[in-house]
Amino acid sequence: MTCVRGLLSALALVTIVSGSSAQTPTVDDLVSKNLAAKGGVEALRALTTVKMTGRIKGPVGVEPVASWAKRPNLRRRENVRGGQTFVLGFDGTTVWGINPLVSPHPREIGGAQAQMTRQDADDFDSVFLDYKSKGRTIELVATEPVQGITMHRLRVTGKNGQIQEVYLNAETMLESKMVMQVEQGGRKGIVALEFSNYKTIDGITVPLHIRQTFNGQPMTEVTYDDVQFNVPMDDALFRMPKDAGDRR
């Protein structure tokens, strides 16, 4: 009996020691693993442009969609609905769009849509890449199960005070969800982006499916069929066309 007790005591001690040696990962550990999972720091820094084409599912059905991004912060998106092309662009200063249901002329855009477009454009790179030199701070809020999957929940604060919460899948170390608050007309809302169907293309791992909700309500789902990196793009692609007769 004494031997059995001694063995149980030893096993208990081993368990205690093993448990005490497990350490909470640091933010830099998590960031490093995430960037490695997406292709590595040098490969990500080497990206200059990204072109993505696919389909967007929204309240009116499924439409073709294409997006262009160019370093440092240029953006353009087009989707076709009922044979008409809708455009959203950002030239680094002005957010603009063409809504053919309203007017064939390009118009400057403000409000929550402009806010989200600017924020997205500021993050040509992952919010984690070189985050310190870009004036961001990151804290680990919790490591917790979310729908049966262990997630690291990180709070990212930009130099302008904008906060995003990023959920990393603890197994893959890739983003599962990003949550941010936006405001329009004095009303605040929570936008969540859910990422899935990750694929590695030319050494870079990207999500090919993105689902967006607003205050928990489904808004859009985008499925990408083709992703191209470092293709030539003229800056004029991102500028508002000169035909701005009814710009407002």
pLDDT at 176 over 90: yes
**DSSP, res 59:** T
pLDDT tens digit string along 143-159? Answer: 999 999 999 999 999 88
What is the residue-averaged pLDDT of the chain?
87
Quote the pLDDT of residue 242: 84
Q: Tell which wins on pLDDT, 8 or 134.
A: 134
pLDDT at 2 over 60: no
Residue at token pair 């997205």: 120
pLDDT tens digit string along 91-130? Answer: 988 899 999 999 999 999 887 677 777 766 667 899 999 9
Quote the pLDDT of residue 22: 54
Q: Tell which wins on pLDDT, 156 or 219.
A: 156
Q: Tell which wins on pLDDT, 32 or 17.
A: 32
Q: What are the residues whose beta carbons fall under 8 Å from the beta carbon of 210, sequence distance 6 or more?
A: 193, 194, 195, 196, 221, 222
Query: Do residues 106 and 98 lie in contact, with contact meaning Cβ atoms separated by under 8 Å?
Result: yes
Distance CA 96, CA 15 (A): 60
Quote the pLDDT of residue 111: 77
pLDDT tens digit string along 47-95? Answer: 999 999 999 998 778 999 999 999 999 999 999 988 899 999 999 888 9
Distance CA 78, CA 85 (A): 7
> May I ask the CATH architecture of the domain 46-238?
Clam (2.50)
Tell me if the pTM is above 0.85.
Answer: no
pLDDT at 10 over 90: no
Quote the pLDDT of residue 243: 67
Average pLDDT for residues 187-201, to the nearest whole number?
93
